Chain A
Amino acid sequence: MIDIIWSFTIIAGILFCFLTGNIETAATSLVDGAKEAVELCIIMAGTVSFWCGIMNIAEKSGLTDSFSKRIRPIIAPLFKETCKNAKAFSFVCLNIAANFLGLGWAATPAGLAAMNEMQKTNLHKDTATDDMCMFLIINISSVQLLPLNMVILRQKYMSAAPFDVVMPSIAATIVTTVTAIICAKICQRCKI
C-alpha cells in the first residue's frame, strides 16, 4: 500500500510540476528531498544512538525486567486468559515496558514471543483471541514515554524549544491508550 502511495505521489508531483510549468521545481525538490533525508539521519544518528546506549544499560542491568515486573498488576486485568500463563504474560509485560521506554528493537521480539505463546492456546488458529486484540490495540495506541524522533525533527527545523513536545505528547498518549482500552473492553463485552 505504501508503495502505491509513494509511486502515486512521485508521479503526480512530477506531472503537476510539468503542467504548471515548474519543471525546475520537480528537479530541485527531488535533489533537496534526498539531501534532507541524509541530513536528518546524521542528526538522528547521534541522539538515537545515545538513547539506545542508555537503554542498553537499562536492559543489561535488569532495570527493564524489574520495570516490566512492576507493571504486571496494572496490566493483568486487561489480559484475562494470558495472565494465567506466566511465560506468555511476562512477554506481554516486557513488550509494553520496552515500548514505553522507546526500545523498538526489544519490543518487537518480545511482542512476537507473546503472540506465539498466545497462539498455542488459541482454539481457532486463524482468529484473534480477545487478549491478542487487546495486545495489538494497546501496541497501536502507542505507550511511548519519550517521542525522541519528534524532538530530533523539531530541533532540525529550528524549533525554539524542541523538548516542548514531551509533556503534551505524554498527555495525548494517555488519551489514546485509555480510549483504546475502553473501546477494546466494550468490543469484548459485545462479543464482536
Chain B
Amino acid sequence: MNTLSAAVMPIIVLIVTIFGLRKKRNLLNDFSEGAMKGLKIVVKILPVLIALMCASKIFCESGLADVSAQVFPANFPFPPKLVPLVFLKAFSSSAALGYASQIFKIFGPDSYEGMTASIMLGCTETIFYTMSIYFGSFGIKKTRYTFLCAAISTLSGVIASAVIASYITGA
C-alpha cells in the first residue's frame, strides 16, 4: 500500500515524459512554461495564506482551539479539533491548508488526527467557492439539489477519511 502510494507520482511523470518524447515535443520548453505557471500559482496564494496561517496559528496557540474542542462530548466519534477543518475546507483551500498545518504541528502528520486531516483534504473540494464560481458567473440562482448532494458527498469523505486513517494508524 505504501509503496503503491509512493509510486503514483513517478509513474505519471514516466508516462508523460515518454508520451511527450514520442510526440517529438520540445520537452524542456513545455516543462519550463508549465513550471512558470506553477510558480505564479504559489506566489498568488501566498498573501492569502499568510493571513489565514496567522489566524490558524492564533486560534491554536491562544488556547481557543482547546476551549472550542471541549464543546463536543467526550465520546464524539470524530476528533473535535478537526471539525473546524471540515468547515474551512468548504470555503477555502488556503484556509484549510493553514489550519491543517497547525493540526500537523500539534498531533504530527502521521498520527490518527494528522492522517485523517491529510486524507480529508485530499478527497474534498471547496463547496461554496466552486458553486459561486460556476453558478455565480452565469447568474444561476436556483441551484436545486447541488448543495445537498455536495454536502452529503463531503460528509462521506470525512467519514471515509476517519475510518481509513484509523485502519492505517491502528488507532
Where the two chains meet, the residues of A that have a C-beta atom closer than 8 Å to any C-beta of B are 1-2, 5-6, 9-10, 12-14, 16-17, 20, 22, 25-26, 28-30, 32-34, 36-38, 40-41, 44-45, 48-63, 101, 104-105, 108, 111-112, 115-116, 119, 124-128, 132-133, 135-137, 139-142, 144-151, 153-154, 156-173, 175-177, 179-180, 183-184, 187, 192
Contacts and interface: CB of A to CB of B under 8 A. Distances in A.
Secondary structure of the A contact surface, majority rule = helix
A112 B132 CA distance: 12
Contacts of A145: 8, 12
Given A105-B37, A126-B140, A166 B6 contact: yes
B34 A55 contact: yes
Q: How big is chain B's contact interface, by range?
A: 35 or more
A30 B125 contact: no
Contacts of A20: 62-63
Given A2-B92, A54-B34, A175-B157, A192 B145 contact: yes
Contact of A61 (B2, B6, B20, B42): B20
Contacts, number: 373
Interface of B: 1-2, 4-6, 8-9, 12-13, 15-17, 19-20, 23, 25, 27, 30-39, 41-43, 45-46, 49-64, 67, 88, 91-93, 95, 97-98, 100-101, 104-105, 108-110, 114-115, 118-128, 130-131, 133-135, 137-146, 148-150, 152-154, 156-157, 160-161, 164-165, 168
A177 B146 CA distance: 14
B58 A9 contact: yes
Contact of B109 (A111, A133, A158): A158
B31 A136 contact: no
Contacts of B146: 128, 132-133, 136-137
B153 A17 contact: no
A176 B124 contact: yes
18 contacts: A25-B62, A33-B54, A37-B46, A45-B38, A48-B38, A49-B34, A49-B35, A56-B34, A57-B17, A115-B137, A127-B140, A128-B146, A141-B125, A141-B153, A142-B157, A157-B101, A176-B157, A187-B144
